[in-house]
A = this chain, B = another copy of it.
Amino acid sequence: MPRPSKKNAFYAQSGGVSAVINASACGVIETAMRQSRYIGRIYAGRDGIVGALTEDLIDVGRESRETIRGLRHTPAAAFGSARFKLRGLDKNRAEYERLIEVFRAHNIGYFFYNGGNDSMDTALKVSQLGEAMGYPITCVGIPKTVDNDLPHTDCCPGFGSVAKYIAVSTREAGMDVASMARTSTKVFVLEVMGRHAGWIAAAAGLAGRKPHEPPHIILFPEIPFDQQRFLDRVKQCVTDYGYCVVVVSEGTAYPDGRFLADAGTKDAFGHTQLGGVGPLIANMIREAHGYKYHWAVADYLQRSARHIASKVDVEQAYAVGKAAVELAVKGVNAVMPTIVRKSSRPYKWTIGHVPLAEVANREKKVPREYITEDGFGITEACRRYLEPLIAGEAYPPYKNGLPDYVRIKGVPVKKKLATEFKI
C-alpha cells in the first residue's frame, strides 16, 4: 500500500458523550505523537465537527503530556462534542466542501472521527468527497456509543462502563428496596437510556442471578409493551418476593411503535406532562395495585460515570483510538476499528476493522435469543456476552474526595481562511 506523505491530523468527538470517549482521544493522540514520520501536528475540533466547519481548531500539541495521559480517566468530551449531523451530500454539499477547504488550509491528511452511526456516515462521505475534489484524505472512524448499537463490532466503547454503572446501581438500589419492603416501598423503577436498542437495560440483568434477585422485570425496546401482562407480573413479584424492581428502557414502546414516554405527554390543556417513562411506569403500577413506589432516572449520570468505569471498556476505548492511527498511517482509508471477541470465558479480544460503508446508519439491536421467552429478563447467552464487558475497575485518581479529572487548555490554532461559516 502506498504511504501518504507527512500531513497533520484532525480528531473530533461526536454525539452523546461517554465515560471513556476521552480514553479513545488519549489513544489517538499518544499514538499519533509516536508517528512523527507520517503525522505532523495534531488538531482537535472544538465542539466536534462544528470546530472543523468554523475553523475553530485546538492545537493538541500545546497540551501537556500529563493532560493527555489524564484524558484516559476523564469522562465527557474534553474537546467538546456536538449533536450536529451533516446532511446528505445531495442536500448540502457546501458543508462537506467547507470541511475539505479547512483541511486543505491546515494541511490535514488524517481525519479521525469518534462517534456513533451518524459519524461513521460523515467520515465516509468526507473520504469520498476529498477524493473527488482532488484532496485525498485518510478517514478513520472510531466507534463510540453507550447504546452499543454499532454493527460489525462485538461491542462499542462507552457501553461497558454505562453497563457497569447500571448493573451496580440496580444491585444497590435493589438491596435498598429489599431491606425495607415489609413496611415501606414495594416497587422501584429505574429508567435507563437506550432509545432504540435495549443493551443498557439488558445490562441491569447482570445485577441478579436468581429469580428472586432484582431486577425482577426488564422492559426492552425490542419487546412490545403489554400493559396487562406487565402489571400481572409486578403483582406476582410482590406476592412472591415481597417487592419488585423494574428496569425500563427509555425506548420501551407499545405494539404500534409509539414510545410509552411519548404517549400522554400532553394533558387536556396541551401542557407538557412532566417525567419520562420511569415515573410513568411507576404511576401505572400505583394506579393498578396501589403499591408504594419510588423511581429513579439516571439520565446523564449513567453515561458520564467515569468513577465506576469498566476496566475492559477503558482499555478497548484506548485500543480503538490507537488502532485508528495505526491503520491511517498504513494508508488504510474509510474504515473503523472494531472489537473482535475471541472467547467469552476467559474473555479474549483483539482489534479488527471494517469498511465505514458497512457500518454507517445501521443499528444492532438486542437479539431475541438474549431475552427470556417471557420478554422480561436476559438469557444465559446474554449474560455470557455482557459479563466480560463490565469486568474490572479503572478508578480515576482522587483529590479532596473528588475525582481529579483533567481539563484541556484548548489553545486555538490561528485561522487561515478569510471566510466565515455559519452553522
Contacts and interface: CB of A to CB of B under 8 A. Distances in A.
Contact of A272 (B17, B269, B283): B283
A50 B182 CA distance: 9
Interface residues of A, number: 79
Interface in A41-90: 47-48, 50, 74-78, 80-84
A395 interface: yes
Nearest to A311: B401
Contacts of A300: 172-173, 176-177, 188, 294, 296
Nearest to A295: B299
B305 A172 contact: yes
A238 interface: no
A275 interface: yes
A78 B301 CA distance: 27
A60 B366 CA distance: 44
Nearest to A203: B401
A164 B83 contact: no
Given A294-B300, A387-B401, A401-B390, A76 B176 contact: yes
B401 A306 contact: no
Contact of A280 (B19, B274, B401): B274
Nearest to A160: B401
Nearest to A392: B401
A301 B303 contact: no
Nearest to A268: B268
Contacts of A179: 13, 17, 76-78, 80-81
A279 B274 contact: yes
Interface string A273-308: 111101110110010000000111111110111111
Contact of A274 (B83, B177, B274, B400): B274
Contacts of A80: 179-180, 182
A299 B308 contact: no
A241 interface: no
A391 interface: yes
A54 to B, nearest CB: 10
- Most chain B CB within 10 A, of A188, A280, A390, A403, is at A403
A206 interface: yes
Contacts of A283: 272, 274
A178 interface: yes
A259 interface: no
Nearest to A280: B274
Contacts of A274: 273-275, 279-280, 282-283
A168 B295 contact: no
Contacts of A295: 297, 299
Contact of A171 (B206, B279, B405): B405
Contacts of A115: none
Contact of A304 (B47, B74, B175): B175
Contacts of A207: 402
Given A179-B17, A310-B401, A401-B310, A301 B392 contact: no
Contact of A275 (B164, B177, B279): B279
A82 B183 contact: yes
A304 B269 contact: no
A403 B299 contact: no
Interface of A: 13, 16-17, 19, 47-48, 50, 74-78, 80-84, 164, 167-169, 171-173, 175-180, 182-184, 188, 190, 206-207, 267-269, 271-276, 278-280, 282-283, 286, 294-301, 303-308, 310, 387, 390-393, 395, 398, 400-403, 405
22 contacts: A17-B176, A76-B176, A77-B180, A82-B182, A82-B184, A164-B402, A167-B402, A176-B300, A272-B283, A272-B286, A273-B273, A273-B274, A274-B280, A275-B275, A275-B279, A276-B279, A296-B301, A308-B308, A387-B400, A391-B401, A393-B395, A395-B395
